[in-house]
Amino acid sequence: MHKELLRLERINKSYDGRKILEDLDLTIHENEFVTLLGPSGCGKTTILRLIGGFERPDSGKIWFDGQDITSLQPEKRQVNTVFQKYSLFSHMDVAENIAFGLKLKGKGRNYIRDKIKYALKLVNLDGYEHAQVTQMSGGQQQRIAIARAIVNEPKVLLLDEPLSALDLKLRQNMQRELVKIKRELGITFVFVTHDQEEALSMSDTVVVMNQGWIQQIGTPENVYNEPENAFVADFIGDSNIIDGIMIKDKLVHILGRDIPCINTGFGEEVPVDVQIRPEDIQICAPAQGQFQGIIKQVVFKGTVYDITVQAAGFEWLVQTITGHEQGSEVGLRLAPANIQIMAKPASEDEEAVSNE
């Protein structure tokens, strides 16, 4: 892991008596692509605004490169933001927008011109120097907003749901391009999104948040394959989440059956949440399955079929590559390695699963 660059220490923040962030600790490293992922209102944008300097924490400290920047004005911070609504200056053309920060810093004409050229090339908009920003498409405006931020050579680029206003195809293109830009620049990106696919496909580190609490920090593979609690399991990808009891190491009791798994260290006779990914469930003949049930619904999704199976009093979501007959009797098989056991939340406060 690279050197630590940014550290949020025991941050508390509330608006109008409503707690947004509570005792939050977060460390971000040099050259890391960190994504803050969570549903709206989870506090992810507040974290970004705290780093950007647009909000002050009620208590706690923010350290940047070893210095306390908690109460530093935004214009004095070595970070730049790409805003959700782009927030370009409509009274300036593209070049003037990009030059804004450089002119304030008193850079020379030639330097500014070269920088503009470089930045426009980086965001694939060469030759657009004198276009009016108001006449550009949403995707183009977003690129200008990125160019405007990066010419200032920030150590951290903050991106506040920058792709949420774009249509799917464009969004996917921009995702790839952002990763490319990030590699080229070699700086830290802090990216806020509620789109789990976006988070998984772009980041080095995903920070999953809910109700002002960090639920899990890890690599995309990590949070997808080994969610630490039911919220993370539910929020990222599709999941079957079932109440279970850990009988002993490597054996869990769910829906009236004892199922072998590979988890250890939970103790004996402990209630747990059990997560099984729909693509990890095998459909087989009834006699060979650990559970027997009936196919309720088959939905073709393009690459996979979403199959709903009613078995042992639970509605299972199963994904398969081949189709199955609705109404037919089937068995379900679970490989031990594909069963993820998660501790139940300790208190009501940490109750992670949203009611949505």
Partner 1 sequence: MNERITAQISSHRFLALPFALWAVLFIVLPLFFVLGTGLTNEAGDVTLANLLTVLQSEYLRALGLSVELALASTFICLLLAYPLCLILREKRESRGLLVFLLFLLPLWMNSLLTTMAWQTILEKHGLINMFLSYLGLPAVHLINTPAAIIIGMVYNFLPYMVLPLYVSLSRIDESIVEAARDLGANFWQTLRHVLLPLSLPGIVSGCTMVFIPALTTFVISALLGGNKVLLVGNIIEQEFTAAYDWQLGSALSMVLMVFIILNILLEAFADSGEQRKKGRP
Name the residues that contact partner 1, by CB under 8 A: 52-54, 73-75, 79-81, 83-85, 87-91, 100-101, 104-105, 132, 134-135, 148-149, 152
Pick 134 or 297: Cβ nearer partner 1: 134
Pick 132 or 328: Cβ nearer partner 1: 132
Shortest CB 343 distance to partner 1, Å: 40
Say which residues have a Cβ less than 8 Å from residue 31's Cβ, sequence separation at least 6. 2, 186, 187, 188
Say which residues have a Cβ less than 8 Å from residue 207's Cβ, sequence separation at least 6. 26, 34, 35, 36, 37, 44, 214, 216, 217
Pick 52 or 278: Cβ nearer partner 1: 52
With beta carbons less than 8 A apart as the criterion, state whether 138 and 121 touch.
no
Nearest-Å Rg of the Cα atoms of the chain is 24
Pick 135 or 322: Cβ nearer partner 1: 135
CA distances from 195 to 35, 155, 202 (A): 10, 25, 11
| Cα torsion angle, 201, 187, 38, 220, sign | positive
Shortest CB 80 distance to partner 1, Å: 6
Shortest CB 152 distance to partner 1, Å: 7
Shortest CB 99 distance to partner 1, Å: 10
Pick 20 or 150: Cβ nearer partner 1: 150
Shortest CB 103 distance to partner 1, Å: 9
Shortest CB 132 distance to partner 1, Å: 6
3-state secondary structure 136-192: CCHHHHHHHHHHHHHCCCCCEEEEECCCCCCCHHHHHHHHHHHHHHHHHHCCEEEEE
Pick 99 or 295: Cβ nearer partner 1: 99
Phi, psi at residue 32, to the nearest 5°? -105, 145
